[in-house]
Structure 1
Amino acid sequence: MRKLLPLLLSGKRQVQTADVSEWTAARSISLFGIRIGIQTNEPEWLAPLADHFPPLWKPTEARTVDRIFSLWKGKSRYTLFENDELAVKARSRKVVWEDFERRLKIYVAEMARRRVFVHAGAVGLNGKAIIIPGRSYSGKTSLVKALIEAGATYYSDEYAVLDMQGRVHPYPQPLALREPGKLEQTKCSAEAFGAVVGTKPLPVDLVIVSKYREKARWRPMQLTPGHGVLELLDNTVPARRKPEVVLPTLQKAVTAATILKGDRGEVEVVVNRILERYA
């Protein structure tokens, strides 16, 4: 546990990030059983920084937290510390805030209690979950977007969050969309596409292991549950940290699921096949 203001501590050792008397504003939040502290020397930052928190966070009055993120505004540079480690220093506030968002998400995904985070898009259809495992640039957000535009319920475009029974819970962050050939992301809410955001956990019915390949024809092969676990394991954030929790959870998730693997071209073919399955 880490002590929040008035002193930033790591264990019993004072952190030499800056003169601790100059940390003038702080707040703590909780999500997935984790307490996070955010402190800064710029009080006006606390409110807008909330736009960079993961979904489902709640404010808390806790003075002791599991991880502290400290954001410092200097004369010419901005600095981020994660606990007592220097994370990034840059002339651009945008760069530092984006790194804060990325690091916070990763920490939560690794350390969440009673949840397993899998890099995957997730939607619901007819009371069942469809998950699309894959890392960045695999095309999962494009497929999620097409599915919710076709009437699926939105759960996530980044993480499929599994409980100990293997069910998928909502992680309703805005979709991160990229234009072809560009790295810059644009965030759009699911509601902007006319979608409904899920509120209840769903059992996994379909796993689509696929990445975009130009002009590819989608001819997927069906995998066994064992191979399905391996595909999910390759995309699971805390796989090495919590194998005793991860493996049983993934096994439960795919027990009754159909697992399809194959490269795809444009999303329309895949979406039509999925809709036929649930018609």
Structure 2
Amino acid sequence: MNKNKYTRKIVVRSYGVVCVVRTNSGNAIRPIRRVLRTYLPGCEFLNTDTDAEHEFWYSWNKNSRDSLYKNNETIALRANHDHLLGSLGSAVRIAVAEYAVGRVFIHAGVVGWKGRAIIIPARSFKGKSTLTAELVRRGALYYSDEYAVLDEKARVHPFPKLLSLRGIKNDFEQVDRTVEALGGKAGKRPIPVGMVLITEYRKGAKWNPRVLNPGEGALELLNNAVPIRRDPQFALPILGNAAKDALAFRSKRGEAKDVAPLIIDMLERSQY
């Protein structure tokens, strides 16, 4: 990689993490800024002279055979601009999630219900976005379908990216939707954790929730926490505090539209 060709750059800050994206083409600037805004809600673009902890190198080529590097390593090769821009957005967002200042990022869907957060920790292809969307359709406030963002007081902050839903085109390709398109609203303020819900989709599965103790709830949050290996001393107390006063349940589930009202009913009948 000839770094001398990468004469243009964009510097962005999110949750205290500063990233620079260098590119070889002025044609890439606007698309890169657009994708960073999409993948990092509320991000701030900085002066290009600002020092950055994380550097990305985006090779924009006329034949659409683009390349993406971080720290001289190839992290993505795609056949067209759109796919590689998505890879860039994901790579920068992961860096922010891992190195965020004063925050712990957990892979999870999150909604707010009566002033408390329902966290659905899970990785991709577990159905968390689908269930998050269905709860939003039924009146829950949308916080995120990607990350639960916890501060030092274990309160959950909004990470209001577009909802990325499978099953609209096919079972694998994601389609982005605004919360308003679902008839819902987004949460605006930090709220305490009220429930940790461990669930994943299984066709034909019966909803049979088992109560978990606070330690089990904390362990599930731990298993899905992004910065846990890098800074466990910071993350562990926050995860423990998040789970200690929250309800926690585990169950496989069937279709989200069938389970969402059961979850809401369970919350209404509990001391939530």
**In structure 2, distance between residues paired with 1:211 and 1:33:** 32
Matched, 1:184 2:173: yes
Kindly report which structure 2 residues correspond to 1:1-279, keeping only aligned pairs within 5 A, or say none: 17-20=1-4, 22-53=5-36, 54-61=40-47, 62-76=49-63, 77-179=65-167, 182-276=171-265, 277-278=267-268
The CA deviation at 1:95 is 2.8
**In structure 1, distance between residues paired with 2:68 and 2:260:** 41
Using the aligned pairs only, state the percent identity: 37
**In structure 1, distance between residues paired with 2:32 and 2:61:** 17
How far does the alpha carbon of each residue in 1:19-64 deviate from its partner, in whole angstroms, 9 at most, with x for none?
51x3232121111111111121221222222332221211111521
8 A contact 1:177–1:186 mirrored in 2:
yes
- Structure 1 runs (4+) greater than 4 angstroms displaced: none
How far does the alpha carbon of each residue in 1:68-99 deviate from its partner, in whole angstroms, 9 at most, with x for none?
11111235321111132222233322332222
The CA deviation at 1:266 is 1.6
**In structure 2, distance between residues paired with 1:41 and 1:91:** 17
State the secondary structure of the residue aligned to 2:106: strand
Supply the AA of the counterpart residue of 2:50: R
**In structure 2, distance between residues paired with 1:178 and 1:203:** 29
Q: How many residues align?
A: 262
How far does the alpha carbon of each residue in 1:96-131 deviate from its partner, in whole angstroms, 9 at most, with x for none?
222212211111111111111111000001111111
Q: Which runs of 5+ in 2 are unaligned?
A: none
TM-score relative to the length of structure 1: 0.89
